[in-house]
Structure 1
Amino acid sequence: MNKIFLHLFFLFFCSVLVAQKDTISIQKLMDEAYSFEQNQPEIALKLYKQTHQLSLKANYNDGAYKSLLYSGIVYSNIGKYDSAKYYYNKTIGYSKQSKTLIGEAKGYVNLANMYQFKGDYPNAIKNYIISIKLFEKTKDSVLISQSYQNLSSVYNSFKNEKLVLFYLKKAEDYGTKLNKEQLGLLYGDIGLMLLRQEHFNDAFAYFKKSEVLSKEYKSIRLNYFTIRNFGEYYNSKNDYNTAIMYYEDALKLSDSLNDTFQKDDLLYILSGVYFNNNNISKALYYGTQALSLAKQIDSDEMLHLILKRLSTIYYKIGQNQKAYQLLEQSYNLKDSVINDDHIKQMSLLQTKFETEKKDKSIAEQQVKLKKQELDLIKSQKEKQLYFIASLGLILLSLGIWYFYRQRQKIKNKEIIALQQQQEIAKLEALIDGEEKERRRIAQELHDGLNGDLSAIKYRLSTLEESGLSAIDTENLTKVINMINESCAQVRSISHNLMPSSILDYGLIESVKEYCVKINNSDSFKIEFQTFGNYVSLSKKTETVIYRIIQELVTNILKHSKATEAMIQFNYREDELFITVEDNGIGFDKNAISKGIGHKNIQTRIDFLNAQLDVESSSAGTSYTISIDLNTVK
């Protein structure tokens, strides 16, 4: 029976190793495909097709949906939106089948991006909203923020500044959880919105914040949009020469960005700036390039705008027939682009209107029913006047009694709260007084006793050894060495009484330094660990925490007979958990409240409004301190 079990376990272990090996090889192949996306997209697509098939064989869901998704992104970047749409829908279908929620959400958000590039705003909005709901289920704050940011850009096409700013602010709510590239792009979008509202100084400030993050993160995408946004700023100020300089720099980066739609949009903008700057040949050159690229990516919105721009340019140079033809083509496209937008807006307004009308009707019915109910109650009260009057007196008496009782309870609570505040104030004063006394004693030891010992050492060192016997010379050397050891002990005591590292470097470094000093002993070793993101507290709070740790370690050294100990800091969201453990002999937990050391610890625990749990056995002792970071100062 044991042999069969071992055989099955061996087979299972081998299958796990094979699956892990397959997963790693698939991931390497996907990384190779990514490296070809920019310059050789056809090779990237072949490799993604291969990784998808391998992922299906290996039952590797992440690899399967990512291969489909990345294929769609490649097709979108080269302007083949029908193929991109096909792969995004395949991503969504596979992710639903395999119950991969994050893959489904990413499929919808990229599908929305594709619809936005094509100018199909109703479908873009629809898919962005679906993706946001899915990302909320996955609790992915970064992707929720990105989706809100994308949604704002859709409403920007409607010139709906109120909704643009609304969704940008919702995206900014998740700003602390974004990486530097995403946060920089968000700052740029907010700056553009403020620029359109002619808040030039505020817009420039956001562009500068984006520029700082761009220099730190070294991202081509963020650098591209940062430079382009400065072009937008100077263009809005009619400083066309400076704007052109920034736009041209951004254009140089556009090929590295590998985003055809963004490059086409920038060519269209450059055409307009050169036109405003009376450089008609450049305006025509960039307008023609933009038209060619718009036809390539099949974007009705861009075709409509560029044709209109070219019509204006040809009219300027006197080619009226050509200008008329282009303008006619532009308006034909405008009907297909703008009318859909108007229908969508009207549909939204109509839905809102119908909802408000329905709510109003329901409210009126509720008011009518309420009035009938009040009339019925009034009639019943008139019939039962005497009974109600008697009952009213009883209820009034009970009410007065209840009122005074509740009032007394409130007063009692206020008294308890005041007592608690006074107790906290006493604890704070006690701790402050103790720290001041420690600081005074430390200063006296350092400046007084240590100075005196140093002076004695100096005087002894100046004695002429030639007139001393060998024994006196040896004794003199021993005395000087003893003074050196005393000075070191005084400095150590002074530092323990008031460690300067808390003021200079904070709690974590102070505890590390404390552990290093203790580890100088061969008979006892202590380890210090930290987990989570460090949260800086006030120096008073950090000093109180340091004193607790110092007292616990002192108790371990004095009483536990331990050879090893560990201090662990664990930051979890708004809480800090501190664990101090040793491998000593343990103690009776019922007796710990009698010691002065424990009373000092409990005083500081009460000051922090924290919780202390103690577990002790013959195998060692564990102290766990739970601190709510929202309540400490």
Structure 2
Amino acid sequence: MKFKFICFWICLNFFSSSTFCQDTAWQSIQAANDDSAKVIRLADYAYSLSLKDEERALKIYDDLMRLSKKLNYPYWIGMTWFNIACIDANRANDKKAIDHFQLALHYLNQTNRIDQIASCYLNIGSMAERLGNVDLKLSSLNQAIHLLEGSKYRKLLNHAYNNMGAMLFNQNQYTKGFSYFEKAMSAAKEIKDTNALVTAFFGMSNCSGSAKKYVEAERYSKESLRIATLSGNNHHLCVANTSFSELYLKWKKAPPAIQYSKEIIRYAKADNDVQYELIGLMNLGQAYSLANETSKAIYYLNSALELGKEKEVVIQLDDVYKSLSDAYAQQGDYEKSLASYKKYILYRDSSINERNNKNISELEIKYQTSQKEKALSQQQLQISKKEVQLQQSKQVTTYSIAATLIAMLGVSLVYLHYRNNRRLHKQQLQSIQQEKELQLLQAAMEGEEKERSRIAKDLHDGVAGMLAAAKMQLSSLSLKNSTLAETKEFSQAVKLLDDSCHEVRITSHNLMPEILMQYGLDEAIRRFCNNISNDHVLQVQYASYGEIGRFVISFELTVYRIVQELLNNIVKHSKATTASVQLSLQNDFLSITIEDNGVGFDKNGTHQNGTGLNSLKRRLQVMNGTLEIDAQQEQGVTAFIGIEINNYKL
């Protein structure tokens, strides 16, 4: 049995799709400004559509391509070609898919995204395998492995090793194949991936068994089965038992081959895995043929045929017909043996014929298209000649009209120049006014933070110190007068002092959070979410993506205050039971998404333009950021914050 690893790595790091309806989402995206936030939302929306409506997804990808080119984002141009290629691959347009993956490579090579570049090479290799182009597959896999070795993308590297091992095995290069499966095994252990580990040991066993190193192969099969048994996963158990079944068929040991083939069938049925059930039936038939139980062999091989035809699984049918031909010959029924052998030849060559037919169809389509284009060009030539004649007859009229139009145009230009100057002057005044307002707002924000810092210092150094001194005096008094210390009033006074110290400390930290100063925005927001989260009232989940480092402290304070205010609004007004905060940094764009499952509000009501939200929007505007609110009654609220951080890096 040949290995077949055909993998499509659709590695888009988009945010999770919104929960509101797609039409609303699309309208919201269309209305947004042409910026990086819109690019991310378009990409997320197109990817969600590609899983169920490929035609519409392709139209969205066209919009995404135009916007990415307009903003000069090589990464998003490359990823758009990548996903278009994946749709081509799903439609079996393999040559077109390769072309589009190569276009994706052209743009992704301008970025540092090794994982996506390597995924392009892996997918090109998979398409090349389907087209029978071994050289292209080999070169693509080598490129992927060269990129991934030494990188942090160990899971991708594991799959590249497995693909290379399988290809070399299929080329009967068992020693080289074994070396790559061994590398895949090491990578799988490193990333603790059970499925990858079981598959790697299967590959090592298959290569060793094919090289007639049966004892060594048996050791690898045992390890594969041990790991699969510990996982309890039916698919893993199918792979591990197939490893044993294949080995004992090569080793000419019928009883264990029968035993493990039956195990394949058992676990495949439990997992609803038609492919492995077919493999189990085929191996069981071959094992009975090896045991000279020809009737049983024919029965199980015919069962494999029926299953393959019923479920339209044809990958192993050539092997089934070959085994059936051998079984009939063993039984002495040469007529059926010949008929099965003819079917074997037919199915073996079907993939080649399919590719040839596909190429012929493509050439025919190109020829018909060229003929239509030629006829269309001739028609356009005739039309052009008639248009020239018509133009010549109208030249005199045109010249007279042109003179009039030139005069009118002169007057219009003078008027337009005057109107444009007036509009430009008005816009300049508005721009100056807006700039002054933003400067005043920024000054107010800075003054507010200074005042917060002063009050926090006064509370910490002044009030907190006085409360601590008062507590010390009470403690001293209790030592002098033990009777007084035992009174309820004295205990209540001490408790009130402790509570006051605690409240002053909390207020001081909220005014000027030390965590933010020490550890930065990511850790400060995480701890704030943990502090307000309560299993019985409101559970707040926090997640961050990307490498979020330190920024200018005034920027961190402003963003922290905005998140703090939005979460406080959820606590006060939403009646929500769960809320989530997502912080992401990608391509110098910081995005924050805050969602809750509360009562929501009417977007067309007064909430959307309330004083609080307008204040937050103005603060973000000072930092060239945006705030978008999506809400529906009884369906919660989603707030999306987007900020370009180029000016705020340390």
Please indicate, yes or no, whether the TM-score normalized by the shorter chain is above 0.5: no
Normalised by the length of structure 2, the TM-score is 0.40
Normalised by the length of structure 1, the TM-score is 0.41
Larger radius of gyration: 1
